[in-house]
Structure 1
């Protein structure tokens, strides 16, 4: 939760409030605390997740890391890195086993989201120190123009995770995870290396998955003006997905798997570097370079059409920052950013698995997103700060069907190519009501380009022309602390045109692949409320605490007088989503608590005839952290009542109220355990 000052941070971290204030003011704040202070300068919703807190329980995927973040919906399917993740209804239903739309994902400030989308295997977030969530245009500093904003994962360094570290996690459904890491500092160089292995047999029948990671982070300071950092991430992954079921099937036997589908990543490789040169105390230049290679073998064992995807992105980020300037006689901070994400190689080949004959070859190479952004923070006085920004985005999309064994008899082309410029301004104002409370508001423009494969891949002999999704968002909010309370509240409304929506026309069967379609919708509205509140219910003189954390999200998404659907609700996300955790913490390191997650029902078709059922899940957690920071242990019980529930759903056109196999199964009851040890 974003907060103001050490006292508010103490409420969240569970430490002594006065001590935390001294630490922050003394300049010895942790990297997480420094990130919170920086994000408090944003005139809009932004939050930081301390992954050390997450690792006090199961830390399996984005569902765990992004829990208790208002406005964020993150639910896992099949217990893998495949998560449905949406912020403010971004990428509302462009989802199949984990591809995420409408959010820009980054590692250490370099994007893993490119013209070809976001590969889900890197969303396991191994060896991450903290996660920064910037809602909507509040991600301006990362040149993220998506409706949902950006999520930036910051990798551990030798300074944030020193010494040798070993961790073992295990749990139900054959869940096992092992990690070894080593970090340190030698003179002007710090280094961190981590290896990780994970596997799971699966909750549904025949849904095993396994993967392994290698992560390395090296930093070096050449002199007071120049430093650099290199990060390497490598992941292999192999899995069988759990199939969607009908509501009746989930109620009767949620472990049933009606359809086997497989996916294999033979080596996703992300290499990135960031170099900073400081001209003086008030100005610096940051240069980021990255290569992201992500092969995918999809449906190689079971699908009617096997797919071989090959994708390589090259990323460039240049950022010039200048602080303590004067503009109109007032203190001013200015940032100029250039970012370019280029799909230097991207294609997919489809093979008929019955005889391994090639059926289609589609090439996306050359597609790119280029953004120029100029931002300014003008400090009007000690209380008011005016934030202005202007982004120019150049969208270049190229999709060509180079081979097809069937003729294109449709009215759609087999070649889509366009180059467009769009302007995205931003205007925000923050008001420091008092040292602990800040009010903010902003208005912004969002641009979501279609992902390359949304135009088409291997299913059809044609491609669908698509326009970028555009939106205008107004947001107002407050964040801060008062006494035992620490929280934030944001209210927003987005007017969207050409929203990119997906529909499942025909679900997959044993002999045929799923048939989907992507299209630009008529005008839509996304509006909602994001509220987070931490309350220190009790604190003893010796430091015992009872803390209640709560996060509530209200989603209200609907058409604006659509010709076919009128003012129908947009399907795919619960209207009400609430999470809470009540935890006791002992100053010696012991903690115990209960947690709750509840979601209302929601439509799964545009005609609003069939709903996914609501659910309420209870959990409990107990653990111990050695005050000497050497070892820790936890037990994390999930779904205590063994609820049969729907974690996510595909989206259909008009189901006429008939139950259909469009629902993903949530895990049943299980107790996870973990132990870690750090060798100093």
Structure 2
């Protein structure tokens, strides 16, 4: 049975657990996705009973408002299969979707569509690991450094959340939790291998006692990829050390280092995808290859004639290194008050010859935070008060080079040079009050002052001269985010919650310097995007065999950021403000054991998201060489948003007998078709994928053999050819004055990556 307890409520029951959240950190949040797999009553194995007592635990619970929608995935939902990237961790979490990004372990992760309009990374979210921020102060987080083998679970906080998390938490936050050393108490070594030359070796070391907890993880994964020019090698090191200095003082040290070395294909047009989705035979595009993406490079790297060349011949790719070091000190003044101070240094260094130009540069960021939490009573009712401040600073310098068609990503002259800074100073407080035995309320207010300053130098060349033009931006933003939530728990089987949350996101420096044509220039008038969201949800847990969570949401946006690509031979996507838009939808999660007596090991997990996003006021300007026209997009669907997203797993694990430990699942994943342009002329097709997995965990009675684990998995069982990821494309104005129709837009490049064909994977691991 799943029990819950909240420190300010002093009550417990048998429903989903209400999280206890510490500043930039989350404890486990059970949901339909993380119910413990209890042994069958007739099993010879001992059944453990877990009793949660009403003892107060320190930690600012107000930082997880009780009314916020939270879904989670525990290690049991992804540890038994290949788990190549963070998408494998989150595929069962309602409200979360993902598409293929720019690299083998860099999927675009979206919460309620937060990143579906992006080509890489995790944006419009705050990402945390063990309480330390993985999102830098400019709003950028990438998933390359996340190897699922290192993690105990992940919590997803959905909806506007800037009250707690500040800038860029426009759609919520994701908190990753590494494995505890005390849970490991030894060494675990494993290997994954499979199709397209994939091979991943990893090791985890863990140890600890009541004085300390230590976890060290390392992995190295490499493969050829299923698309031409997508060979890769990624290595990751991850460490966490907690030390109890005294009964009242604790230190937490965090270290992450990741190196990503990958070749990179170019995104296709829709017609190219239909013709040659995996870009086979495209190395030499000058000799009859069809359906191939290509890039135009200046022959001398400065001016004049250009040459069309394939990504493989050009040597396009990414070489990125990410290093993070963090330290947190926690001090208990007394049994009711805790003070926490944290510092994080995070460097993102990249060398990305990924188009007609190459980007190089270090992004160094520094974040500090301090908060205090107090548990007290207002009269006879529990009250938890939280207050905190934080400061984040990032400085950067990024030269951009023209690339030459000589192979090996040969650099030519500078195309541009960008240098600047971005910092955020924030403060927030919350009051968490249980005013009646069955009623619980949270109110809060957060605010952030942001400073963005940058200069971009643009270079142009002739045979006799070099010219430089500078564009400067100095922007200041101040945003506030109030919120309030209410929770009603009429019985141990039911919990009802409602919440009004707000959020904001300022432009990033890179947004300010790319024009609608996809070239470097002035786009410095962007405003902050803001949102107000209403959630209404319920959790029903009538027994240990059924858990259901459902949430409806309606969010109102002002100046929403939407990005679109002008084609493959551009320097980036153009970002613009939409005056007003709305997001509304339904999120559903089910965990059901249908035959608990006759077939106890059988279980079904289902997650479904309906996400309907529309422009409510937006006029788009289109131009050609002779005309300029505006078109009303009000009422149109926002492109890039997958309206229906469903994952269903049918699992079985043998709980007893000679086959105890043998299990597997059959999985169905369905993505609906979605629009690619603002005019709603062209859609990316939907798809349905089938996956199959079998694993074996020998029981303890088998002696040393129980330390072994193996699995075998088939992904995309029917070998479906599908769109793995597609970025938005720009509508076009024809010379006739009419908008380009769907047939014409099917030739717009720089949009589509194909998903993986049928693939086979296996793996083994051993524990010492």
Q: What is the TM-score with the length of structure 1 in the denominator?
A: 0.91
Distance 2:337 2:240 in 1: 26
Q: Is the 8 A contact 2:164 2:446 kept in 1?
A: no
Give 1:282 deviation, angstroms. Answer: 1.1
Does residue 669 in structure 1 map to residue 758 in structure 2?
yes
CA distance in 2, matches of 1:638, 1:523: 40
| Aligned match of 1:303 | 355
Equivalent residue of 1:569, what SS?
A: coil
2:473 maps to which residue? Answer: 416
Q: CA deviation at 1:139?
A: 7.3
644, 663, 666: which is aligned to 2:721? 644
Q: Which of the two has higher C-alpha Rg? A: 2
SS at structure 1 position matched to 2:511: helix
- 1:550 Cα shift? 0.5
Counterpart CA distance in 2 for 1:38 and 1:177 is 40
**Alpha carbon RMSD of aligned pairs, Å?**
2.9
Counterparts of residues 85-100 of structure 1 (less than 5 Å): 85-93=109-117, 95-96=118-119, 98-100=120-122
Name the counterpart of 2:169: 146
Give 1:337's aligned residue: 388
Cα deviation code 1:304-325 (max 9, x no counterpart)? 21111210110112121111x1
SS at match of 1:55: coil
Check the 8 A contact 2:640/2:728 in 1, yes or no: yes
Q: Mean alpha-carbon deviation: is it higher for 657-666 or for 166-175?
A: 657-666
Distance change in 2, residues 1:198/1:139 (3 Å): farther
Could you say which residue in structure 1 is the equivalent of 2:553? 492
Match of 1:185 in 2: 208
Structure 1 position 347 matched with structure 2 position 382: no
Cα distance in 1 between the residues matched to 2:539 and 2:48: 18
Deviations 1:172-213 (A, max 9, x none): 111111101211126723322222100110111121111111
Which of 658, 663, 672 is the aligned partner of 1:600?
672
Deviations 1:621-651 (Å, cap 9, x if unpaired)?
Answer: 1101233462211112111111110122110
Whether the aligned pair in 2 keeps the contact of 1:549 and 1:581 (CA below 8 Å) is yes
Contact 1:565–1:606 (Cα < 8 Å) also in 2: yes
Consecutive unaligned residues in structure 1, runs of 5 or more: none
Matches of 1:561 and 1:2, distance apart in 2: 46
Contact kept, 8 Å, 1:3 with 1:481, in 2: the verdict is no
CA, structure 1 residues 371+591, in 2 after alignment: closer, same or farther (shift >3 Å)?
same
SS in structure 2 opposite 1:243? coil
How many residue pairs are counted as aligned between the two chains? Answer: 658
Q: Per-residue CA shift, 1:465-507, capped at 9, x if unaligned?
A: 21110111111001131133202111011110100111112x1
CA distance in 2, matches of 1:376, 1:243: 50
CA distance in 2, matches of 1:319, 1:172: 48
Which of residues 407, 432, 445 is equivalent to 1:390? 445
What CA distance in whole angstroms lies between the structure 1 residues aligned with 2:357 and 2:242? 45
Query: 1:254 deviation in Å?
Result: 2.2
Alignment of 1:450 with 2:500, yes or no, is no
Offset from partner CA, 1:14-61 (integer Å, 9 cap, x none): 214998882243799xx9xx99x9999621211222134311112111
How far did 1:150 drift?
0.5
| Corresponding position of 1:610 | 682
| C-alpha displacement of 1:598 | 0.5
Alignment of 1:504 with 2:565, yes or no, is yes
Find the aligned partners of 2:577 and 2:451 in 1 and give their Cα distance. 18
Does residue 370 of structure 2 align to residue 322 of structure 1? no
Q: What per-residue deviation string (whole Å, max 9, x for no partner) do you get for residues 588-623 of structure 1?
A: 222122110011111100010000001010111110
Q: Which residue of 1 aligns with 2:495?
A: 438
Equivalent position SS for 2:535: strand
Which of residues 136, 153, 156 is equivalent to 2:159?
136
Alignment partner, residue 65 of structure 1: 89
- Per-residue CA distance 1:250-278 (angstroms, 9 max, x = gap): 34432216342734345310111121101
* Secondary structure of the structure 2 residue equivalent to 1:12: coil
Give the conservation status (yes or no) of the 8 Å contact 2:678–2:730: yes
Once the two structures are overlaid, the 10-residue window that deviates more, 551-560 or 455-464, is 455-464
For each residue in 1:563-604, what CA deviation from the matched residue of structure 2 results, as whole angstroms up to 9, or x when unmatched?
321210001022111110001111122212211001111110
1:582-597 equivalences under 5 Å are: 582-587=650-655, 588-597=660-669
C-alpha distance in structure 1 between counterparts of 2:726 and 2:530, whole Å: 25
Contact 1:61/1:76, CA 8 A, preserved across alignment: no
Instruction: Measure, in 1, the Cα distance between the counterparts of 2:47 and 2:648.
Output: 24
Partner of 1:577: 645
Structure 2, unpaired ranges of 5+? 5-12, 17-29, 280-291, 295-310, 405-410, 463-468, 620-631, 701-705, 732-739
1:538 aligned onto 2:595: yes
CA contact (8 A) 1:6 1:17 kept: no
Q: Distance in 2 between matches of 1:195 and 1:240?
A: 22
Secondary structure at 1:173 match in 2:
helix
Partner of 1:528: 585
Task: Check the 8 A contact 2:197/2:222 in 1, yes or no.
Answer: yes
Which aligned pairs between 1:168-567 and structure 2 lie closer than 5 A? 168-185=191-208, 188-256=211-279, 258-259=293-294, 260=311, 262-299=316-353, 303-323=355-375, 325-327=376-378, 330-343=381-394, 345-354=395-404, 356-365=412-421, 367-402=422-457, 404-405=459-460, 414-456=471-513, 459-483=519-543, 484-505=545-566, 507-508=567-568, 512-540=569-597, 544-563=600-619, 564-567=632-635
Match of residue 13 from structure 1: 36
